[in-house]
Structure 1
Amino acid sequence: MNRAAKWAIGLGIAGGAALALAVRRDRPASEVETRRARSPSRFIDVDGLRTHYRDQGKGPLLVLLHGSNASLHTWEGWMDSLTREYRVITVDLPGQGLTGPDPKNRYTPLAEVSWLDAFVGALGLERFTLGGNSMGGGLAWRYTVVHPERVERLILVDAFGLRREEPIPFSLRLYETPVLSRVVRWTTPRFMVKRTVKSTYGDPRKVTPETVDLYVDVLLREGNREATRRRFAQKDSDPSLEERLSEIKVPTLILWGSRDEWILPKYARRFHARIPQSRLVMMEGLGHVPMEEDPHKTVAVVRDFLHQTEARVSAHPAAGLQSARQV
């Protein structure tokens, strides 16, 4: 055997060993739930999908949606402040968090709009303020376009959904590649998750080991990585919804991290230009998940927005009835 052949075999063995070391099995749902589904967590059946959510506080309604490969825990830094005046519902979206994979594999944007409508219907919610971060922000504005009768106000936090001029981040791009998506479905070591989470912060030093542990838990929850692979394989069934952004007539807060490298600040300005009743607040020094990175500063902006628009929302007859029922 010549030297080149030996080198090739050696590299192949080394590569195989490295891949084997990187493999992470799914974690049983019951194990992850024991750690993460603590009070006030609840579960409800939504169109055949056992859904994890939290319902906290009393007052006018807010529904908040997390981003890709995250969970409802992303909003916990806001809860102490918001629940003093508002009823806040957070939820793990299909294929993510403790909700886990949808047995019917409904992951296109319009399918998720339908699922969200089923979720709020299952809880008996009629009108509410809707907010979302990243992918959850994309779901929030699409839902508002399709169901304007339900949404009183809209909060977009570094929201996804506009046509991009740059590739999506590398860690997500892997899920778009047919072969690599099957590899990354199993090979997600903790250091890779840590690097990805740090890339979403304007100041990576703020990422704690506990935050990384949470992201690892919800990613490795059984079925979630396969659901992510399937979600990225499904295309937007109605990209024309973007052309209807100007139909959004409710007060809208666009909250963005100035150092967001996942969805650049220029997209915040595009949302602002296309949604008539919108206001843009750029959070200096923060990244893609500003509500995690600086919950106190970001929730103060949200509370100001809610207070300043309260009278306009309460003037709507249906909104007034809904608020009276929830207090």
Structure 2
Amino acid sequence: MHALHQGWLPVDGGHLYYETVGTGSALVFVHAGIADCRMWDAQFHVFAQHGHVVRYDIRGYGQSTFSDTPFAHRTDLLALLSQLNIDQATLLGVSLGGNIVLETALIAPARVKTLIVATSAPGGYQFTGNPPPKWSARAVAQEAGDWELAAELDVQLWLDGPRRTPGQVDAHLRDTVREMDCIALQRAAERDYLLQPFEPPTIERLRDINVPTLVIAGELDEPNILAACHVLSERIPKAQLMTMQGTAHLPNMEQPDTFNRIVLDFLQTI
């Protein structure tokens, strides 16, 4: 097994925690907004058998820090690539991580070899219909500082999805996501206020992405996310869509073997 390297990248206004392992072509994992880099535990060493893999906590999540300096996750990711002397990489993002890798591909296309975007709605995508009641309940819990309740509602909304009850989802997995989300929620108000917008929004620029792209959807995900995945696959010129059955918003955690096989099969075609 290749040796694991852990490090901290100083960025303007904070530090990014990262881990790398393996050698060869680079693959960078970018986590969801209700998680941190631990969500890639079932992928990290598997993919290290095939190349150089990187995972990190985006600014204000997990072990990464932030201050009062405005920032953008896309430029943080490019700084990490430069720190690790990676000229070009495959970028794999889930949910918020999918937004980040799409933005990165748009501002620095030469740095991106391939994209894998899972369960993500691009910036500027408009949701339709009425939001589920749990969305407003989550906002109330977060405003009150009830992180455990807010995180549990996030788990119900995203990990469980709208078509399952909590009892139908692995209890240990629910605990893991809830714990990661509690950390993220406590910093959300200050952190998200500092995020720099991406203009024009990604939804208007998808046809400018010119690298092979795999879009992964979860069959049991929120319907707007499923619809957004179809939009991604239709508008990105070299995109293909794969829908995973029996999983919602975090397919790599719920069905890691299936997810890993789908991604590896795709990468072998590039």
TM-score range, shorter chain: 0.7 to 0.9
State how many pairs are aligned: 259
How far off its partner does 1:165 sit? 2.3
User: Which residue number in structure 2 is paired with residue 113 of structure 1?
Assistant: 74
In structure 2, the residue matched to 1:132 is 93
RCO (CA 8 Å, sep 6+): is it higher in 1 or 2? 1
Q: Please identify, of 45-54 and 228-237, the stretch whose mean Cα deviation from structure 2 is larger.
A: 228-237
Q: Which moved more, 1:242-251 or 1:195-204?
A: 195-204
Tell me how far 1:77 sits from its aligned partner. 1.1
Percentage of identical aligned residues: 24
Q: Match for residue 29 of structure 2?
A: 64
Q: Which structure shows the higher helix fraction?
A: 1
- Equivalent AA in structure 2 for residue 59 of structure 1: G
Offset, 1:218: 3.5
CA RMSD of aligned residues (A): 2.7
Report 1:1-327 matches (<5 A).
Answer: 41-100=6-65, 102-106=66-70, 111-162=72-123, 163-166=125-128, 181-183=142-144, 186-189=145-148, 192-199=150-157, 200-201=159-160, 204=166, 205-209=168-172, 211-221=173-183, 224-233=184-193, 236-261=197-222, 263-309=224-270
Q: Which residue of 2 aligns with 1:15?
A: none
Q: Which amino acid aligns with 1:207?
A: D
Letter matched to residue 253 of structure 1: L
TM-score computed with the length of structure 1 as normaliser: 0.71
Q: Distance in 2 between matches of 1:94 and 1:170?
A: 29
Partner deviation per Cα, 1:274-314 (whole Å, 9 max, x = no partner): 100111101112101100010000110000010011xxxxx
Please identify the structure whose Cα radius of gyration is greater.
1
- Residues 216/266 of structure 1: CA separation in 2 closer, same or farther (3 Å cut): closer
In structure 1, distance between residues paired with 2:20 and 2:7: 8
Q: How much has 1:220 moved relative to structure 2? A: 4.2
Give the letter for the 2:154 counterpart: T
1:46 Cα deviation from its structure 2 partner = 2.8
| Contact residue 201 and residue 293 of structure 1 kept, 8 A | no
Contact 1:134 / 1:159 at 8 angstroms: preserved in 2? Answer: yes
**SS of equivalent residue, structure 1 residue 225:** helix
Give the gaps of 5 or more residues in structure 1: 1-38, 310-327
User: 3-state SS of the aligned residue for 1:159?
Assistant: coil
Q: Deviations over 1:131-167 (max 9, x none)?
A: 1000110011011011101000000011132512236
Q: Distance in 1 between matches of 2:45 and 2:170?
A: 21
TM-score normalised by the chain length of structure 2: 0.84
Residue ranges of structure 2 left out of the alignment (5+ in a row): none
Query: Letter of the aligned partner of 1:196 in structure 2?
Result: D
> Once the two structures are superposed, what CA deviation does each residue of 1:262-285 show, in whole Å capped at 9, x if it has no partner?
743111110011100111101112
Q: Distance in 1 between matches of 2:5 and 2:156?
A: 28
Bigger mean CA deviation after superposition, 148-157 or 121-130: 121-130
Matched with 1:34 is none
Cα offset, 1:244, TM superposition: 1.4
Alpha-carbon shift at residue 213 of structure 1 (Å): 4.1
- Provide, for residues 22-81 of structure 1, a one-character-per-residue CA deviation record: whole Å limited to 9, x for no partner: xxxxxxxxxxxxxxxxx6543332334222111022221001100113101111112242
How many Å separate the matches in 2 of 1:129 and 1:48? 27
